[in-house]
Structure 1
């Protein structure tokens, strides 16, 4: 039985509604899926960029740390090298003895004006010959200064040896400085008091002195001083 007009209208509306649903909802669903997929891709890309940024930042920090560490190591190495160089420069070598260990020669005596340069060198004194009976004064170098007067204080360099064998027993050269004393007033042995008065300053003289004008001939009475005849070579450097 054919449908009534009203029923048919209802059916047409229902059919169109179903068709619209079938044709309208499907595109919307597909678009939503595509949008969701795009959003997911964007999120994934953003996350990847963030990860790359973090990795790049960490790599930069590591490079800076390496550079700083390298600079510090180079500076420390340079400082150690400088320190080693300074220590090497400050340390004396084995072949160079320290100044305190180096042998030192006695300073040259202060010579009188126009004196013979030979007075600056220690003389070589030999033994005498024969039997010595009296004081003998032998000029070796004639000085040009004034003559020594009794009571003056004279400054001398001297060497004393035993007359018989030439063995040295005393020397101002060994002490490294001249000796000063009054002359002609009993402050030294008679052979010096008698033999040096009248000698000119700047002279070198040889004094051959018998034991009785020196320290005597008796060893017990001499108290350890040289006995018997003696020979002195004396340089008169000053008198005042």
Structure 2
């Protein structure tokens, strides 16, 4: 065998050995990679289980949500004539009254006839009072004035000269929640004729 042939044979042997070594290195690296990956996979469920256990413990320790508060009396809508009259008004005061003329006359004094008995506080002079009312001539005729027709109660200070004398004299001493009939002589009204009012006392402050 010539020298050239020997040299070529050595080079082939070295190339084969190098290829085998490279293949071995690749196999070793692959084995190492899978071993490490497998180890990481083994750890993940433990971490997840720990987190799940901690979350469960926190949930168990947390207080239950508070129940919804029951409505209270203060949160309920105020009734008509609220304030001093709250809860004291008869259902009859929600209905417009019928008013009929008086008999006889002329009137010589103020006459008050209770129609619905109030259960609220007593009205005092100087208070601001809320009313519904209806007015006709005492001897009869068409309705002269009515808060019912306006759909709005009337509010005024009582006993301070802001209203006719018959009201300033007749309303103080009545109870909130009352419906009264007031027959007022001309001298305590507008001076021209006797009057008949039906008055609902809704509130006083």
Other-structure match for 1:235: 200
Contact 2:132 2:148 in 1 (8 A): yes
Contact 1:163 1:208 in 2 (8 A): yes
Other-structure match for 1:95: none
Measured after TM superposition, the shift of residue 116 of structure 1 is: 1.1
What does residue range 64-213 of structure 1 map to in structure 2 within 5 Å?
110-111=80-81, 112=85, 113-131=87-105, 132-213=107-188
When Rg is computed on C-alpha atoms for both structures, the one with the higher figure is 1
| RMSD of aligned Cα (Å) | 1.2
What whole-Å deviation, never above 9, does each CA across 1:157-189 have from its counterpart, x for those lacking one? 000000001421000001101000000010000
Q: Aligned equivalents of 2:204 and 2:187: distance in 1?
A: 27
- SS of 2:119's partner is coil
Q: Aligned equivalents of 1:172 and 1:115: distance in 2?
A: 17
Q: Higher relative contact order by CA 8 Å / sep ≥ 6: 1 or 2?
A: 2
Unmatched 5+ residue regions in structure 2? 1-78
- SS of 1:155's partner is strand
Contact 1:125 1:166 in 2 (8 A): no
Aligned length: 122
Normalised by the size of structure 2, how large is the TM-score?
0.58
Give structure 1 regions of 4+ aligned residues with deviation exceeding 2 angstroms. none
Q: Aligned equivalents of 1:159 and 1:166: distance in 2?
A: 13
Contact 2:180 2:200 in 1 (8 A): yes
Unmatched 5+ residue regions in structure 1? 1-108, 218-227
- SS of 2:133's partner is strand
Contact 2:88 2:176 in 1 (8 A): no
